Amino acid sequence: MELLKRKIVEEGIVLSDQVLKVDSFLNHRIDPPLMLEIGRTFASLFRESAIDKIVTIESSGIAPAVMAGLELGVPVVFARKRKSLTLQTDLFTEKVYSFTKKEESEVSVATKFLSAGDRVLLIDDFLANGEAALAMARIVERAGGQVAGIGIVIEKSFQNGANKLTEKGYRVESLARIASLADGNVSFAE
């Protein structure tokens, strides 16, 4: 997606060989027209996939997921990182190991928002090692649903998440694929 790549080049800050900061349009401040284009692009990629619902993880997955949901006409469920105050007992909870943070966390979705037979599109802002996407997939599959595809805004292709997800048979569509962040430069994969 050319508009997104241009935004990354103009506003992204390469923090290290591993980490790209994009807080001016995705992770802190949000650019709504760009998010709408992102949603339209996901919708056109998955229009024929008979999606029933979108699942993402709070917080940065929500904006692109909502725009895709708007375009596809389906609801959006975000997995929560902390259990809601209104004590929920009926939850699917899965562990997510972060290689970046070297710590384990949990994400949960209320069982009432997932149904057996659901065809689910997973959406996330970043794909690094794929642990967050795999946790979402486990939740959907425990509910008896099917992961119809995975939509990623920015894939770091030099990390192994995309390979892991593809090897498991999931269809992964990333709107920008970064081959390298070496020497402070963003290089996109072809």
The SS3 of residue 56 is strand
10 Å Cβ neighbour count for 189?
14
Of 24, 27, 93, 146, the one binding ligand G4P by CB under 6 A: 27
Backbone angles phi, psi at 92, to 5 degrees: -95, 120
Minimum CB distance to ligand G4P smaller for 52 or for 152: 152
Binders of ligand G4P among residues 154 to 173 (CB under 6 A) are 156, 159
Calculate the dihedral angle through the C-alpha atoms of 19, 22, 154, 132, rounding to the nearest 10 degrees. Answer: 70
Token pair 């619902």 is found at 53
Minimum CB distance to ligand G4P smaller for 8 or for 148: 8
Q: Which two tokens stand for residue 2?
A: 């050319």
> What is the nearest approach in angstroms of ligand G4P to the Cβ of residue 117?
28
Query: What residues form the annotated binding site?
Result: 20, 27, 128-132, 156
**Which positions lie near ligand G4P, rule CB under 6 A?**
19-22, 27, 59-61, 98-100, 125-126, 128-129, 131-132, 156, 159
